[in-house]
Amino acid sequence: MNKVNREIHMNSDAFSKMPNLRFLRIYGDENKCMVSHLEGVPFAEVRHLEWAQCPLKTLNICAEKLVSLRMPCSKVEQLWDDVQDLVNLKEIDLSGSELLTKLPDLSQAKNLKILMLGGCLSLMETRSSIQYLNKLEVLYLRKCESLTSLPISIPFKDIINFPGAILLIDDKIEL
């Protein structure tokens, strides 16, 4: 793969010509792919979205068929506003996204197994919907310096009893 030495400006309309797009990975040490927004982009078929260092502040997409969302070290402040049917979603990795302030409602993400939020320094709240993530095996919250509490009824005891489960939380967070 050749290294891109200049910024690439992409119009979000370019994605509208890819209605069957299933896998989207935008990568590089210094992300030079510039997209002003993805709002209204028909990502209805995307299963895997990976975009390290994503420059967008929000990701307002239809994520209902999404299985994996990996956006480490992104500039995202929030993902989307509305409740989405995320029954296929198994993994969210927003680790190192220092500007992320809140999570979307994940109450419909019944199959979510991995939620990586370590290093989300501005994350102030997790919605109470995470307490209903019964299949959650990994919850990574280390260095979430602005997060001070979690919903009390998260089944952490159940998580800890799963073989191989990981629960990493800074000491200052109250349960």
Would you list the DSSP string of 107-140? Answer: TT-TT--EEE-TT-TT--B--GGGGG-TT--EEE
Poorest-pLDDT segment among 46-60, 72-86, 118-132, 154-168: 154-168
Confidence of residue 164 (pLDDT cuts 50, 70, 90): very low
Tell me which amino acid residue 80 is.
W
| Residue 103 near residue 128 (C-beta atoms within 8 A) | no
> Bigger pLDDT: 80 or 38?
80
Q: What pLDDT does 46 receive? A: 85
Helix/strand/coil for 94: coil
Angle at 138 between CA 152 and CA 69, to 5 degrees: 110
| Residue 95 near residue 71 (C-beta atoms within 8 A) | no
| Residue 153 near residue 130 (C-beta atoms within 8 A) | no
Confidence of residue 1 (pLDDT cuts 50, 70, 90): very low
Q: What pLDDT does 158 receive? A: 44
Poorest-pLDDT segment among 39-48, 55-64, 65-74: 39-48
Q: Which of 49, 73, 77 is nearest to 61 (CA)?
A: 49
Q: What pLDDT does 34 receive? A: 56
Helix/strand/coil for 104: coil
Cβ-based neighbours of 152, under 8 Å, separated by 6 or more: 175
Average pLDDT of 66-71? 94
**CATH fold of the domain at 1-175:** 3.80.10
Poorest-pLDDT segment among 5-19, 83-97, 145-159: 145-159
